Structure 1
Amino acid sequence: MPLSLMIARVLRLLLAAGALSGLVLAALWWSGKPPKETQGIWITNGYGLVFDISPVSIAIHEITPVSCIPWQTMPAHMGMVRRLAGYTFTAQGDDLSIAVADAVGDMRAYRVDALPDQCVNGRQAGPLETFDIFWRTFETHYPNFARYGVDWDARRDEAMAALAGNFDPKHLSDVMTHAVRDLDDGDIHLMTPSGDVSPHSPAPWDKDQRALWQVTDSYLTSERQFIETSGIRHGWLDGEIAYLGVHHMESEPPLGQTMASQAARVVDQLGALYADAKGVIVDLRFNAGGSDTVALTYAGLFSAADWPAGLKQTQITRGYMSPSTAFYGRGSQAALNAPVMVLTSSETSGAAETYVMAVGELAQVSIMGEPTNATPSNIMVRALPNQWQFTLPHQTYALANGTPVTQTGIAPDISYPFDVEGFSNGKDTMLEAALTRLAQAR
C-alpha cells in the first residue's frame, strides 16, 4: 500500500476516534446538566446572592438593593459543581435548596423571572457608590449593632459628609474603617491594597501564642505530635491524660473531598491513639475558628451517636431573621468514654465556639476557662467595585436549649482566668487546674 494511502487511513481512523471520543464526552457532559426544574434565576433568603442557572453555566452575583457584582461563573455540570465547588442544588417548585460543602444548614432561594434591575442596568460605581454598597451590606446582613450600641444610619450620614469632595482611595479606606469602629467583632475585616484592618482588638497575649504553646507543651510526658492536615498538636500528660491542642477548625482534604471527611479521619486516628486515656484535655484557648462541620465532627470524638448541638439563624434583612436551623454533633465509632476538660479563653472564636456548644451537651465534658468570644457565625466575604474586599458575620447562634450565645459568648462550667503572669513564669495554671479536676474525677 502506498505511504500516502497509509497516512490517509491513519488520519481517518484518528478523526473517527476523535469524533467518537467527542460524542462520548458530550454525552457525559449532557448527562450532568442541571435538571430543568433547577434551571432559572434564584435569589437567596439572606446571603445576598443571585444564582443564574442555565443548561451550560451557573453564574453567581453578589447583590445589595443598589448593586450587583459578578462573583463566580462555572460550567453547569452538577457532578463537577458538587465535587469542586461544593454546591448541591435541589429544587421544589419555586423554592431552591443549596447545600454547601462544609457549611451547616442549606441556603434557601426563591425563583424570579429575571435578574434584578441592578444586575441589568447597573451604573459605574465611584467612591460614594462604593461606600454605599459597603454600608448597605452591613445594614442588610449584620445582626449585632445593638450589641455594640452602634447607630448604623448615623454612621452613613457621617461617612457621606466625610467623603464629600475627597475621593482619594486612602481616604475612602479610612472612612470605611472609621464607620465600623466600636464593632469589636473579629469577623469584620476590610482588605485594601494598604492591608487588612479590623475593628476587633484581640487580647494582648494573643500575639505571643507560640511562646505560650511552648509552656503548655513542657507539661507533656511524651513527644509532642502534630497532625499536619488539621492543626492539632497532641501528646500524653502524666502518661494517662491525653492532651489535644486544637489550633483551628479546618482540615486539608484531598481534591474533591470535604473538610468534614478529613476531620472524621483525624477523629479515627485520635480515637485509636488515646483509646486507653483516663481523661482528655482539649485546649481551645488559641482557636479562632474555621468550619462548623469540622468542629462538629471533631466533637464526635466523645460521642458514638449524633446529638443536638445548637441552633442558628441567618439575618434576611434588617430586623428579620430566618427560622432557627438545628445542627448536630456527629458521632464516631472511635468515641472515647473518658472524662473531658475543654479549655477556653476570650479568644475562643467562631467554629471553636460551635465545638464548645456541641461538647457542652455531653455529660462527660466540662468547660473550664473564660467566656468565649461570642462570634459564632459563617462569614460573608464580599467584593467592592474597586476590587477591595470585606467580611462580616450574618448569623446568630444559640445553645440547643435556645439560650443565645452571640451576645455574651459561652460561659464555662468552671471559671478560670487566662493567667498571663503564670505563663511568663513558665506555668500553665489553667492546665494544672484541669489536671487536678480530672484526677479528682477518676
Structure 2
Amino acid sequence: MKKYIALLVCLFELTVLINFAPAQTIKESSPQVRQKTFEKIWETVNEKYFDANFGGIDWKAAHDRYAPQVAQVKSDAEFYNLIKAMLGELKVSHLQILTPDILDRFKAVDTTTGLTLREIENQVVITRLSENSSAAKANLKTGFVITKINGEAVKNLDDAKRKLYGQPNTTLRLSYLNEKDEEREATLERTPLSDGDRQNLGGGFHLYAHFESRRLPDNIGYLHFTNFLQFLNPRITTAIESFKDASGIIIDLRGNGGGEDSVALKMANMLFDKKTQLMITKTRKGDDFYYQAKPQKNPYRGKVAILIDEHSGSASEQIAAGLQEAGRAVVIGKTSKGADLDATTIGLPIKALFLYAYGQPRTPKGIVIEGRGVIPDREVDLTRKELLEGRDAQLEAAIEYIKSPAQ
C-alpha cells in the first residue's frame, strides 16, 4: 500500500495543487507534537533520503533555520506549509506530508465527467472524451476550450482539475469556446467510476484506472490505461496476446501517473525474446535493485510505439525509458513529467503520513529520469486546430511509425 500512496500523490499532483488550509473537523495539534513531527521528518530525510549529499543543500543548516519557526506557527496548516517549504529546498518529487484531510480525499469515491484536459497554446483544451460519458452526451468535442466552471474563470489546468472535483452524482456548469470561439455552456454530471475499475488497497484506500484496448485500421493494436495497477495485469496480458498478429502495437501512456513497477515489467516481459536490463535503482546504502525483463515463450516481436506526455510519471517513465534505451520501442509525444523516484511512507506524531524518496532509478546507461523526464524519439505537439478536426497528431505519428518500412 505504501507504494500506492506514492502514486496517489503523483496522480493528484498534491505538491502543486495544495496550499494547506485549516481543516474544520480535525483537532489542532499541540506545539510539542508539531516539534516532534518536525524532528521525525528531518531525521528521516537525513538518514534515509537516497542522496547523502542532498543535492548540494546543507541539510543540517536547513534544520537550524526551520526548527525555531515551528514554535512560531499558530495552526497545523501553517506547520504543514513550513514543512512543505523545507522539503521544497531539495527540489525533487516524492517528498510530501500527507495530512488527514488529504488522506480522506483518497478514500472518497472517484468521479468523472469524461473529460481529459491539457494546456495547449496557453488554454485549457479538451483532448479526449470518454465514450458514453456526461461530456460526450453534452456534445462536447476535442479542441473546445474550457473557460469557466460553475461561473468561475479557469486560470490553468491545475485550477480546472480542482474545480471539476466534487461529490458523486452532483452537477457542474461548464463554459467553453466551441470551434467558432463562441462561448457556450453545458451541464455535466460527476459520475461515480465503476467498482470494476477500482483496486482496493486496504484501510479504506482505493485507486481507479481507465483501460482501453482496440484494433486500429491497418491491423495496429492500441492499448491505453491511466495507471499500472495489479488488477489490470490480466487485461494487459490478454490485450497484448490478442495483438500477436498485429503489424504493431501502440502503448498510450499519456497521462499515466505510474503505479506498480511489477505490472510495468510484466507487460515488458511480453515484448522480449531475451533477458534485458531496463532500470537500476540506487539507494542511500548503495543497494541496487535491478528491473529486468524476463521473456515469455512467445513474445510479441513486432514494432512498438509508446506515447507519453508531460503528465506521464513514475512507473510509466521507467518503462518508456527502459524500452527506449533497449531499442525495443520508439517513444513519441512530449517530454514526460520527470517525477521518478522510489518512495515509501511512515507515520508521524501529528497523525499524518510522510512520503519520502529512498531510491533513484536510472537506465542501464546511467540516465536519471527524475528532474529530466523521458525525452521522446519523435517530439510531437497537440494543437487545438488539429483537435478540432478530430485529429490526434501524436497518435498519428505513432501509426506512421508502425506503418513505415522496417530499417
The TM-score bracket by the shorter chain reads 0.5 to 0.7
Q: For 1:371, what is the secondary structure of its paired residue?
A: coil
Q: What's the CA shift for 1:312?
A: 1.2
**Could you tell me how far apart the structure 1 residues matched to 2:72 and 2:39 are?**
16
Q: Is the 8 A contact 2:317 2:340 kept in 1?
A: yes
Q: What are the equivalent positions in structure 2 for 1:319-398 lying under 5 Å apart?
A: 322-398=286-362
The equivalent residue for 2:201 is none
Equivalence for 1:16? none
Query: Per the alignment, in what secondary structure is the counterpart of residue 244 of structure 1?
Result: strand
Task: State the Cα distance separating 1:151 from its structure 2 match.
Answer: 4.8
Tell me the distance in 2 between the aligned counterparts of 1:432 and 1:209. 22
8 Å CA contact retained: 1:310, 1:358: yes
Q: Residue 291 in 1 paired to residue 255 in 2?
A: no
Aligned to 1:87: none
Q: In structure 2, what is the equivalent of residue 214 of structure 1?
A: 129
What is the CA distance between 1:378 and its match in structure 2? 2.3
Identify the match of residue 220 of structure 2 among 215, 226, 241.
241
Question: SS of 1:402's equivalent?
Answer: coil
What's the CA shift for 1:232?
2.7
CA apart distance, 1:245: 0.8
Relative contact order (C-alpha < 8 Å, sep 6+): which is higher?
2
**Equivalents in 2 of 1:425, 1:172: separation in Å?**
49
Structure 2: distance between partners of 1:144 and 1:213: 39
1:172 partnered with 2:141: no
The secondary structure found in structure 2 opposite 1:335 is coil
Corresponding residue to 1:232 among 204, 211, 216: 211
Change (3 A) 1:249 1:239: same
Return the offset for 1:235: 0.9
**Letter paired with 2:34:** P
Superposition deviation, residue 237 in structure 1: 1.5
TM-score (norm 2): 0.62
Q: CA deviation at 1:281?
A: 0.8
The Cα of 1:380 is off from its aligned counterpart by 1.3
Structure 1 residues 1-58: Cα deviation after superposition (integer angstroms, max 9, x where no partner)? xxxxxxxxxxxxxxxxxxxxxxxxxxxxxxxxxxxxxxxxxxxxxxxxxxxxxxxxxx
Q: Does the aligned pair in 2 maintain the 1:348–1:372 contact within 8 Å?
A: yes
Question: What's the CA shift for 1:248?
Answer: 0.9
Residue number in structure 1 paired with 2:47: 140
Residues 166 and 437 of structure 1: is their aligned pair in 2 closer, same or farther, counting only changes over 3 Å?
Answer: closer
Q: Cα distance 1:337–1:138, how it changes in 2: closer, same or farther (>3 A)?
A: same
Q: CA deviation at 1:215?
A: 8.3
Q: 1:421: Cα distance to partner?
A: 6.3
Greater radius of gyration (CA): 1
CA contact (8 A) 1:328 1:358 kept: no
Equivalent positions of 1:167-316 (< 5 A) are 168-181=75-88, 185-195=92-102, 205=118, 211-214=126-129, 228=197, 231-252=210-231, 263=233, 265-316=234-285
Q: CA RMSD in A?
A: 3.8
Deviation string for 1:130-189 (max 9, x for gaps)?
A: 111112222333346989775544432332232234453232222112223365544233
Aligned residues: 294
Deviations 1:66-101 (CA, angstroms, capped at 9, x unpaired) = xxxxxx9xxxxxxxxxxxxxxxxxxxxxxxxxxxxx
Match of 1:160 in 2: 67
Q: Structure 1-normalised TM-score?
A: 0.57
Report the AA paired with residue 226 of structure 2.
H
CA contact (8 A) 1:339 1:441 kept: no
Q: Distance in 1 between matches of 2:380 and 2:257?
A: 19
| Distance across 2 between alignment mates of 1:215 and 1:209 | 17
Question: What secondary structure is seen at the aligned counterpart in 1 of 2:373?
Answer: coil
The runs of 5 or more residues in structure 1 that have no matched partner are 1-71, 73-123, 198-202, 220-226, 253-261, 317-321
Measure the CA separation in 2 of the matches of 1:266 and 1:397: 27
Percent of pairs with identical residues: 18
**Alignment partners' CA distance in 2, 1:209 and 1:302:** 36
Query: CA–CA distance in 1 between the matches of 2:270 and 2:211?
Result: 14
Separation in structure 2 between the aligned mates of residue 145 and residue 234 of structure 1, nearest angstrom: 43
Secondary structure of the structure 2 residue equivalent to 1:180 = helix
CA contact (8 A) 2:125 2:384 kept: no
Structure 2 unmatched ranges of 5 or more: 3-30, 105-115, 143-195, 199-208
Secondary structure (helix, strand or coil) at the match of 2:292 reads: strand
Q: In structure 1, what is the Cα distance between the partners aligned to 2:44 and 2:229? A: 27
- State the alpha-carbon separation in 2 of the partners of residues 275 and 355 from structure 1: 20
8 Å CA contact 1:368, 1:413 repeated in 2: yes
Per the alignment, residue 403 of structure 1 pairs with 367
Alignment partners' CA distance in 2, 1:353 and 1:370: 12
Q: Secondary structure at the match of 1:302?
A: coil
State the Cα distance separating 1:383 from its structure 2 match. Answer: 1.0
- Report deviation, 1:309: 1.2
CA distance in 2 between counterparts of 1:369 and 1:146 reads: 34
